[in-house]
Amino acid sequence: MKISLAQQNYHIGNFESNTAKIISAIKQAKEEDADLVLFSELCVCGYPPRDFVEFSDFINKCYKAIDEIKQHADTIAVLIGSPARNPNIEGKELFNAAFFLYEKEIKAEIHKTLLPTYDVFDEYRYFEPAYDWKVVEFKGKRLAITICEDIWNLGDNPLYRICPMDALIQQKPDIMLNISASPFDYTHHEDRKATIKLNVLKYKLPMFYCNTVGSQTEIVFDGASLVFDKDGNLCRFLPMFKESFETVVVNDDGTIDAPIIERAEYLPAAELQISEFQPELNIKMVHEALLLGICDYFKKMGFTKAILGSSGGIDSAVVLALACEALGNENVRAILMPSPYSSEHSVKDAEQLSKNLNNPYDIIRINTIYEDFLKTLKPVFNDLPFSVAEENIQSRTRGNLLMAIANKFGYILLNTSNKSELATGYGTLYGDMAGGLSVLGDCYKTQIFELAKYLNRDKEIIPNNILTKAPSAELRPDQKDTDSLPEYEMLDNILYQYIERRLGPAEIKAMGFHAATVDRVLKLVNTNEYKRNQFCPIIRISEKAFGVGRRVPIVGKYLS
């Protein structure tokens, strides 16, 4: 049997575009004489649609798209994902479903069983789990069709009490098909591949796994669709971070007509957790994910031009370089806004960076504006000593100027804060925390240095002085980040243990970190949730990003 995988980038709620893409891929599959073509989870409407599925009109448009697509499923079978109505009074009104189309009809409707409700997922909020499990018979083959999470309930500590494939295997299927919307994080690729391989080794069947690609606000999907033969050998690996199409022949004996890319090995568990923070880990993937996040945010929102504050520091330098690569250097405007405490070398570094990137930039000194603020506030401040209030006036002045220019010329402001700063509250609300999209909000400071090195892999884009000087907000004389925070190598590792691994203070201290430092850092994280709650969307590249995937109370006493 010839099976095609259509790894595509969808736009949530853009039914016309999504349908056109699907129909185009069906035509390509026909040209390649495929018997069946697979698309990804909820491809008709885009994933995750979230509360859009609560609108009847949205679901009506899903069914209208299915009706249009099935007219092209005449001589070829098509497997697509879409919400489906639940005819039963009991339970949720919708299923997360796969529709098997053939001969211009819906031949089967398969419902997702395991509905993830963790991290960025909230599927049980909307969908009812499957009531039953049946193979689909097609051209003499029995197909076991599952949807994303349905194949993830393996290992020594399963999250769910049932496993759909355990029911389907009783019906003696020949092939496993899984349509998925599995997000990227820089530790997840091997974990995902291991999980799919474990399914193949357990059930002794070939697996066709079709994942979506593209960025949806903060969530990046990397594609990387896979085909395994019945012995667990990887035979096809579609590219990461771009649309792709492959047609593969599966033989009657479960072998695949394709060279083996990676031979099967015994895997004791699907979870491959990293205990020590490694800022350089998969930095090339992180780079590609951030580029895709920027590109799709602008393209799908209809924006073309970006603006950001360029300080001469490492964070704004990396954001500027990434934005120029993603959007084109002519579409990214840098604004340099030195204050009385800005060092002259920072201004020169920021200028040199824009010259290296050949992007437009302006210098707007804020000294006069800052002095006017201080003069206006003097009667109220009552000659109290210089403090964070005066520091933040500078930051908020910059935010105001950036937003004014953005409004005037139709730019989107890119935020330059990093995860280390956001975690500890080392940022100014309505100042340097302003923006429409956070590019580096899920990257720790030490990761950003690794990103900078990667960006400079072929030539010096980011000036070497930016890489070597001590990080500083430059809001008071001789200021350094380490005046307020531990060294970033230590800080990032503590934050990683607490945020990504969810370890408690005693466990982190047992790893050798200074007890008082651990207590201080965790207190900073928990007392600054109010700031993060007002922050813009963050491109997610880790297994636990700030935003929709991490929900903690603002008013809470734990570790604070």
For the question of residue 271 being annotated catalytic, the response is no
Q: Are 111 and 86 in contact (CB under 8 A)?
A: no
Q: Can you tell me which residue has the tokens 């603020």?
A: 373
Could you tell me the two tokens for 333? 């405007």
Strands 412-415 and 306-309: parallel
Residues 6+ apart with CB under 8 A from 228: 196, 197, 200, 206, 207, 209, 234, 235, 256
- Active-site pick, 45, 148, 210, 295: 148
Quick count: other Cβ atoms within 10 Å of Cβ 84? 23
Residues 315 and 445: their CA atoms lie apart, in Å, by: 8
Could you tell me the two tokens for 498? 């607490």
For the question of residue 148 being annotated catalytic, the response is yes
Residues 39 and 142: their CA atoms lie apart, in Å, by: 19
Q: Are 461 and 455 in contact (CB under 8 A)?
A: yes
- Active-site pick, 41, 218, 288, 500: 41
Amino acid identity, position 230 = K
Helices 515-527 and 488-499: crossing angle, nearest 10°?
A: 60
Could you tell me the two tokens for 339? 């204050």
- Active-site pick, 21, 61, 70, 112: 112
| Element at 130 (helix H, strand E) | none
Q: Is 267 exposed, middle or buried (0-12, 13-18, 19+ CB in 10 A)?
A: middle
Could you tell me the two tokens for 102? 């053939």
Could you tell me the two tokens for 111? 């419902």
Residues with catalytic roles: 41, 112, 148
